[in-house]
Structure 1
């Protein structure tokens, strides 16, 4: 067994449906490695091609995903529902990895504010870390907006877990835009410090503004797991929408079901490009004349940085509310146009597209967009307090 590393980071992330959590965690891993941490990137979701974690070391657990937007049923990579034996085997692998690495910081992305489905392995991991002789620091991180828990007992469970195990809570957002207190009703009962890192961005290389996407209408849905419906409707309406004479590029995402992707392709005519995945999607959006997308954390953070005109159609399926909250906050600042998915029509899209282009030069002053470096700095400060 090795000695504990004085600057090692054990970063656990579990994506279940989309890829936003994974991409945000990857940006944190890059920044932490650049700041001198030995980063171990422990991923429990389906692998994503071309994920850039910088100098971090990837540890892929047996992957699991949600069967639907309710997140109640979990499946393995072959579509089989996981059982207690599967859970026990993955838990044991995770605990063995932690004991092998002996990190100075255990970092759980979203848990315990989310990913309750993973308690079977995360609570044993937290117990192991809490009892470890080398006393690692324990950190929870989350995006800017939480999905509000309707049951008070679930919120009480979160508070008790945070207070029992954690030394620090990091919010990857800007308190000036939205506070954790706005979406977590028991915020005042949290004992560990809560710090705001700023919005976490993946580095964007726009190629000096030249290349694919330049002057185009770029339609995207992140990983694509839940974007098929709105993208197919856009493809169908495209000939009658504004800027139909421009090139339209649909990037369906690596996790979009084949049937949904084929439907989008069936509506593609002259001047339409349909692609399954683009590792440089952020750069495409930065070069675009107009972006039409869902309102996930990473996409909107990239839009804020690039200044691209944007229409967003927030995902609101299942229990998800965070995309609509985030989109409405930015729309009120005049930075983008929102079309609720249930209101998607030729008229609402036409209005939103013209509004977005007219607002493309609007900026939001003072929003902290340096969250990856901010996270690395706060982790360093945490170790220095020891």
Structure 2
């Protein structure tokens, strides 16, 4: 009989791939401390997945955002807006995974702070888990998208108290506290556990790498790429205008870069290389002269473990409604760690100026915040069981 504690982890990514990467790191850390983990994923399936012993994957009927404005949830297979029949299939699949896994802990990524379009699924799922005796936990980033309707913020806080025993905040309160982006944080203060940033392991030192030809490059990245086209185009045009015009600029293309944004990659000038996003991203950053990127959670965590000087162009979304990345970039700029260029100001000229400004930034040897968030999350989840299982 397998007497390991069981964790069921529900993850729904909508646009980029950051949620999935962070969830993978937490899930693998939970396996390492002794959980049997079932990772229940509702986004577009990953092309490559590592599934070590102790980790089971369940793919739900997949959904994604219709666009960068998050205007609708669509069936990832058909592109059609989801309907009640789709929702019923999705709920049935989630409840079936719950019944099969019989978890000691149900961990939900985001909801109700985010993913409220999936309330039809997640409220019954959490309620059923609690009926079965499982502990219920929500996992959130350090910085949330700000909301102007304070009555909805209060409703989210009350729903959190009703449904969840614990809130894992994947950040360092010395850098950013939940209240900075969620005004009702005091309502759930007794449930908060700050884990530190969920970061990758430190990269292999450049002197130990088998080839050094990438040393001194400019690395341009945009995560999954769904909203990275403008940054890539600006970077290609900015290179000859900057003080790093003599360096190789390496563009890493995320899997979700729209086809219309790939045209600029068809005829790149000498000195610019484009390739698919790489698994050794942190090793590239460790040897790079500079990084140009958006300010997503995982990218900034990668920068923290490498200390690479960087220009951040945070994704703000249509109308500037996506406040998470701009807030993160501004905090880092205020700490002297990066140069921040608002997305609304992005041109080849302003990007070249930002690159030149970032050249005076020192390569930082110490992270601006506490890392090891995956291991600390796993430890906190194990502690919730207190040595007792139902």
TM exceeding 0.5: yes
Q: How is 1:216-365 mapped onto 2 (pairs within 5 angstroms)?
A: 216-263=217-264, 265-266=265-266, 268-318=268-318, 319-364=321-366
Q: Distance in 2 between matches of 1:27 and 1:352?
A: 32
Aligned to 2:60: 61
Q: Which of 162, 167, 171 is 1:169 aligned to? A: 167
Q: Distance in 1 between matches of 2:259 and 2:284?
A: 23
Aligned to 1:137: 135
TM-score in terms of structure 2 length: 0.92
1:123 Cα offset (Å):
0.8
Q: Distance in 2 between matches of 1:192 and 1:49?
A: 39
Stretch deviating more after TM superposition (152-161 or 295-304): 152-161
Q: After superposition, give the CA deviation of every residue in 1:149-175 in whole Å (9 maximum; x if it has no partner).
A: 211232122112111111111100000
Q: Which of 30, 35, 38 is 2:36 aligned to? A: 38
CA contact (8 A) 1:162 1:192 kept: no
1:308 Cα offset (Å):
0.9
Aligned to 1:151: 149
Q: After superposition, give the CA deviation of every residue in 1:173-211 in whole Å (9 maximum; x if it has no partner).
A: 000001101111111112642010000013354473445
Query: How many residue pairs get matched?
Result: 381
Q: Distance in 2 between matches of 1:370 and 1:5?
A: 27
Q: Which runs of 5+ in 2 are unaligned?
A: none
Stretch deviating more after TM superposition (123-132 or 338-347): 338-347
Stretch deviating more after TM superposition (99-108 or 196-205): 196-205
Q: Distance in 2 between matches of 1:248 and 1:330?
A: 24
Runs (4+) of structure 1 exceeding 6 A deviation are none
SS of structure 2 residue aligned to 1:190: helix
Stretch deviating more after TM superposition (41-50 or 22-31): 41-50
Query: Structure 1's 35 and 257: CA in aligned 2 closer, same or farther, altered over 3 A?
Result: same
Coordinate RMSD, CA, aligned: 2.0
Q: Distance in 1 between matches of 2:189 and 2:358?
A: 42
Q: After superposition, give the CA deviation of every residue in 1:242-292 in whole Å (9 maximum; x if it has no partner).
A: 2121111111200011110222x1451112111133233333223322110
SS of structure 1 residue aligned to 2:359: helix
Query: Structure 1's 267 and 241: CA in aligned 2 closer, same or farther, altered over 3 A?
Result: farther
Query: Structure 1's 122 and 36: CA in aligned 2 closer, same or farther, altered over 3 A?
Result: same
Aligned to 2:12: 14
